[in-house]
A = this chain, B = another copy of it.
Amino acid sequence: MSTPRKAPTMADVARLAGVSPMTVSRAFKRDSSVSDATRSAILEAADNLGYVFDSTASNLRSQRTDFVAVTIPSINNANFADTVRGLSDGLKERGLQILLGYTDYDIQEEERLVEQLLRRRPEAIVVTGGRHTPRTRRLLENAGIPVIETWDLPDDPVGHVVGFSNAAAVRTMVDHFVSAKITRIAFIGGDADRDTRGTDRRAGFIAAMQAHGLDADRLIAAGTPPISMREGADAMGRLLDTLPDTQAVICVSDLSAFGALTECQRRGIDVPGQMAVAGFGDYEIAGICVPSLTTIDPQPREIGKRAADLILEVLDGRQSDPATIALEPILMRRLSSP
């Protein structure tokens, strides 16, 4: 576990293999021109010495780091994890690694994080959402690398966008209920504007209700984002206590929706007979809970995949203008709604 002596360098490997450091450098690259005999001699020498390639030196000299910076609101969220997985898979073939940071749904924290990440000279940066502090925006604009905003369709993007309209997605859900003659619909979401996607969903709910000429005043504040299952359950409790004639509730996420569902179970309220419930995200739980949960699939993995493709295109010079890729969230009709 401890190596008291200094770690071996390429020069050490070169000496042992009887070649120049430059040849060792080439031997560690994939497609460079080194004879097979020389290469295997070098790799063996390296192995004997316990040599491990030093990226820090390589990064500085070549001005390439081979990683892409990614910020997500929370590491503990299956939707964002799926986006990261899509990104990761898409970038892997090019040898690009992901440097991940999370913002805790806080744009001040995002600012700190983005600066930290940019110091490490990523080849590109992917951020979640389209709302940033002025300084974050300036940092991104001046970074000189591809910038991709995701999970949103910002009015004034910094660079590229791979996302969807959170408001429009919720409108789809409202329409779904209204077409089933359900009109007394509530919304359970965060009580702060911290989570901009949550805020957009609530705004989309209000706008959609008003477009149908319906009251949009059944808004239940469930806590500070991210809203937990427990907070969803508590919010449903308050809704049932204060507005018992409510026919349906749209929740800001599947997690809060599942919490709400369990509260109905505990109180013996039939779902969807007495109360329909809808979520957002199409987390695994939505498909398997009883009754299964009507929700919106925002295609998180696809967001990551498309962002990765876009990054590769831009780095290859195949794409130069800022692109906006708008995905269509999918309404997943299940048993928690009519």
Q: Which residues of B contact A289 (CB under 8 A)?
A: 262
**Most B CB atoms within 10 A — which of A53, A55, A56, A262?**
A56
Name the residue on B nearest A63 (C-beta): B56
The one of B1, B65, B142 that contacts A322, using a Cβ cutoff of 8 Å:
B1
The one of B1, B56, B229 that contacts A141, using a Cβ cutoff of 8 Å:
B1
In contact, A121 and B55 (Cβ under 8 angstroms): yes
Q: Which residues of B contact A7 (CB under 8 A)?
A: 144
A40 at the interface (CB under 8 A from B): no
Q: How does the 8 Å CB contact mask read for A224-255 relative to B, with 1 for contact and 0 for none? A: 00001110010000000000000000000001
Q: How does the 8 Å CB contact mask read for A27-66 relative to B, with 1 for contact and 0 for none? A: 0000000000000000000000010111111011000010
Q: Which residues of B contact A174 (CB under 8 A)?
A: none
In contact, A119 and B322 (Cβ under 8 angstroms): no
Q: Which residues of A contact B (CB under 8 A)?
A: 1-3, 7, 50, 52-57, 59-60, 65, 75-76, 78, 81-82, 84-85, 97, 99-101, 115-116, 118-121, 138-144, 146-147, 158-159, 228-230, 233, 255, 258-259, 262, 265-266, 284-285, 287-290, 322
